[in-house]
Amino acid sequence: KLRDLYKYDLPKCLVWLRDRRVTKYLDFDLINIDLVQETRWLKTMQSSPNDYIFAIEKENGKHIGNIGLHRINWRDKNCMLGIFIGDIEDWNKGHGTDAIKTILKYAVDKLSLHKINLHVYEYNPRAIRTYEKCGFKKEGLLREGHYYNGKYWNVIVMGILDRDIKKFSD
């Protein structure tokens, strides 16, 4: 399930953001971030009319990751999706798929968005499969748009339209 992200969640988030197994899939490197910076980020997100962020929780209430709709363009009714499951032991268990389906329904039903976009690195086939399972389509490629581990990698551009989300969630 999704819930609001709170300041008390941030110490756990910092542990995840310092784990290279997690951050190699993110489009930012926050290995050296501290609690003050993370708190500032949370306040910025919470006060932004163009960002909605949530904690991802398991049924038992355990916070295992975060998901958000970012850079919402209200005129064009689109945004960027960001997600990570920070607890490694909770990877490959369907939590990301469930969180994505929930936030897509929220994006369409509550925010009236038309399109949700995302970028994913080609070396993350697990995420690509998850996005495709949730209805995202590959729309383009940013050739060698990401540098990681001594190599340039392609960035896959994916998107989903509101009508596809509605079909998927009916």
CATH of the domain at 76: 3.40.630.30
Work out the percent of the chain whose per-residue pLDDT is above 70. Answer: 91
**pLDDT above 70 for 121:** yes
Cα–Cα distance measured from residue 104 to residue 98, given in angstroms and rounded to the nearest whole number: 10
**Measured in whole angstroms, how far is the alpha carbon of residue 125 from the centre of its chain?**
15
- 3-state class of 37 per DSSP? helix
- Identify the DSSP state of 149: T
Cα–Cα distance measured from residue 57 to residue 85, given in angstroms and rounded to the nearest whole number: 10
Indicate the number of domains in the chain: 1
Query: pLDDT by residue (tens digit) across 10-42?
Result: 988 888 777 776 765 666 666 677 788 888 888
The residues annotated with a catalytic role in the active site are 131
pTM: 0.88
pLDDT at 167: 80
Domain around 50: 2-169
